[in-house]
Structure 1
């Protein structure tokens, strides 16, 4: 009798050990959802056999409210009862930021129903629209080339039509417009031909894009360019002067050279050198004429440059006027007084690039004075 009792207890224990565990799942979701994108979700099944398994995921503002987006995904029969399955859910652009609620439901053909929910953060849909012209200023009769591209939050182009682009004059008169423009790789290229007598001033390019899925939700980007009558400079001016003077120096030399854009020197041009200090007081004014090389030099007395304000910088304005035409160009720079000598040091390209701890470093330095000459002190 003792033997039979032990066998019976063993059979009962074995039957209890073979009892099937309950079904369940593990849901994996991003912590932050980006509006206007498709997010990836996964479920890991536990003892949930097929066939006829499906998963339903909804995104809403909170539990029990109308969902913003819903997806129903059939779990293939090839996925085991303890397998994994991943799927996507579209997050609309119009979803408000901050907080949302995910509702997950899993069912199979045998009538098993499992559900769970979780709060999630939502980041608002962001769209960066870049508007560019081929140059900032145009003359009458020029052609204005326009480029527009819209970028998502991850800087990838938005491949969809741009609702509207239009151009207005300084008087806010619309002179060109395009609607529902098809993009090429997210980019559109437009052009506006200016007349020979267009309104002068600042023109504006307007671009309207959809911010959400509703066409009423839009935003506008602008870009400005200038239309004016201007003449390209026929000559260039190069001014060489020190940026500072040391205490004790008597004179400062300002070298001025002018040449035409095709390389020839500007001969017999009038060069005016004006030096002003604090409160725009004029200290020094010198008038010169360029020689056959197109250059002229002016020696300025330091005591005259810093007459009243010894610590504030002086302003040097150089104007070159072409003989016969009256065309002129100006260059402005500042000059300050220093009471200590300074120099700059640079490492040659062939110097040792690395320092090893505990070992000496051998190298050379190029030390130059403030005027660029070798420092000999």
Structure 2
């Protein structure tokens, strides 16, 4: 059987004037070389053509004439070794010829100038493959905001590597506003704008880098202030830091005594944070040249409770008497990262004195799973408590909800410490349909029967709002 013969031709859809374009040709299953010819036709007249002998795969190159632009026709045909033979194939397609054989980029040394400054200009000319082109720029000019042409250069030749450098001074009373630089090459015009303004103080940004969180109210943490001009140079000046504690009492709007610190800064400056709750830091700064910026940050939560414990979303709130119950708790640090290697205890009781399950587990990847083997068939409600034993400080000294859900609450500075306590207790409601539900023990029930009573908060705890 004879294999089917054919061809495949790939060419750019856009040709560029003055550039040597490449046409890729593939001949399938030909036992001999095929003479392939390519021709570019513009306005009915052939402007360039080329040919080559191809066996299997090869390329044909066409050097597009300069000054050519618009639509053109690309014709390709192939024939055998004998000139008198009929063409083996013939095809044609339309292409667009872009008159830009090279691209021009204009750059100034600064975006904003003052009167009597000298404007430095660099003009870069590159080929389509971004290689430097040492081709003359036909003309370059500068216009003021009113459109008046202030200066013009003609027939500029790059001194090296496709780069042309120009400069001109500004007068002591130039027209203020947006100025333009124009460059013309191969019939195309390129432009670049810059600003001329009266003297203004350099602008700089002021950033506050607070600690991720504060664990102990009695310990000081370190924050950092960074000041840099928009062009990257460090700012020198006087720095004033105003800090206060927000929510020092039961209500979140109570604000503590402000703390002021003044120091010198050169680029960056560390400062101590010794406060007792959510910290807004209001930082005004004046540089040596007189300019001023103010930054504000309130993203640092204060946590005596280092580990946040909560039941996972897939932990069921109902149980079936006589069957095992499987649950899971999630542990995280105040910044939201998983708490690894934290030992927690899980305890389940029918009544404050009727314990049915106690377990201890270590978190892995911020998760602790547990399983209560069997719940008595007579049980209607079970108090489930997950807690962490601590020696140095109490996890219940501060607790609350996330920033997205509401304000951050804590027990106050004089709260009584408890060596063992629940963390972020989750009260589960009773489902009337099934009659079975877990509830979280936050205190001893006062009821005299098996029905659950309203829990009382332990001493030193405050409710969540």
Q: TM (normalized to structure 1)?
A: 0.50
Matches within 5 A, 1:196-235: 196-210=172-186, 215=187, 218-230=188-200
Matches within 5 A, 1:163-312: 163-184=138-159, 185-210=161-186, 215=187, 218-230=188-200, 242-246=210-214, 249=217, 271=240, 273=242, 289-290=262-263, 301=275, 303=277, 305=279
Q: Secondary structure at the match of 1:150?
A: strand
> Closer, same or farther in 2 for the Cα pair 1:47/1:249, shift >3 Å?
closer
Give how far 1:55 is off: 9.1
User: Which residue number corresponds to residue 286 of structure 2?
Assistant: 320
Q: TM (normalized to structure 2)?
A: 0.43
User: How many Å separate the matches in 1 of 2:177 and 2:38?
Assistant: 56
Question: Which protein, 1 or 2, shows the higher relative CO under an 8 Å CA cutoff with sep ≥ 6?
Answer: 1
Tell me the C-alpha RMSD between the 2 structures. Answer: 5.6
Contact persistence 1:130–1:148 (CA under 8 A): yes
Q: Secondary structure at the match of 1:32?
A: coil
User: Which residue number corresponds to residue 336 of structure 1?
Assistant: 299
Contact persistence 1:129–1:148 (CA under 8 A): yes
Give how far 1:67 is off: 3.5
User: How many Å separate the matches in 2 of 1:137 and 1:118?
Assistant: 55
Contact persistence 1:241–1:253 (CA under 8 A): no
- Give the unaligned 5+ runs of structure 2: 1-5, 228-233, 247-252, 302-307, 309-332, 338-465
Q: Aligned residues, how many?
A: 271
User: How many Å separate the matches in 2 of 1:342 and 1:56?
Assistant: 69
User: How many Å separate the matches in 2 of 1:154 and 1:175?
Assistant: 34
User: How many Å separate the matches in 1 of 2:114 and 2:189?
Assistant: 31
> Closer, same or farther in 2 for the Cα pair 1:47/1:193, shift >3 Å?
same
> Is 1:31 aligned to 2:14, yes or no?
no
- Give the unaligned 5+ runs of structure 1: 1-25, 49-53, 306-313, 345-377
Give how far 1:337 is off: 3.5
> Closer, same or farther in 2 for the Cα pair 1:242/1:163, shift >3 Å?
same
Q: Secondary structure at the match of 1:154?
A: coil
Deviations 1:122-177 (A, max 9, x none): 46546543211122333322211101113232112333222332222333332222
User: Which residue number corresponds to residue 23 of structure 1?
Assistant: none
Q: Secondary structure at the match of 1:196?
A: coil
> Is 1:154 aligned to 2:110, yes or no?
no
User: How many Å separate the matches in 1 of 2:163 and 2:73?
Assistant: 33
User: Which residue number corresponds to residue 67 of structure 1?
Assistant: 45
> Is 1:112 aligned to 2:84, yes or no?
yes
Contact persistence 1:315–1:334 (CA under 8 A): yes
Matches within 5 A, 1:76-91: 88-91=61-64
> Closer, same or farther in 2 for the Cα pair 1:238/1:88, shift >3 Å?
closer
Give how far 1:118 is off: 1.7
> Closer, same or farther in 2 for the Cα pair 1:205/1:249, shift >3 Å?
farther
More helix by share: 1
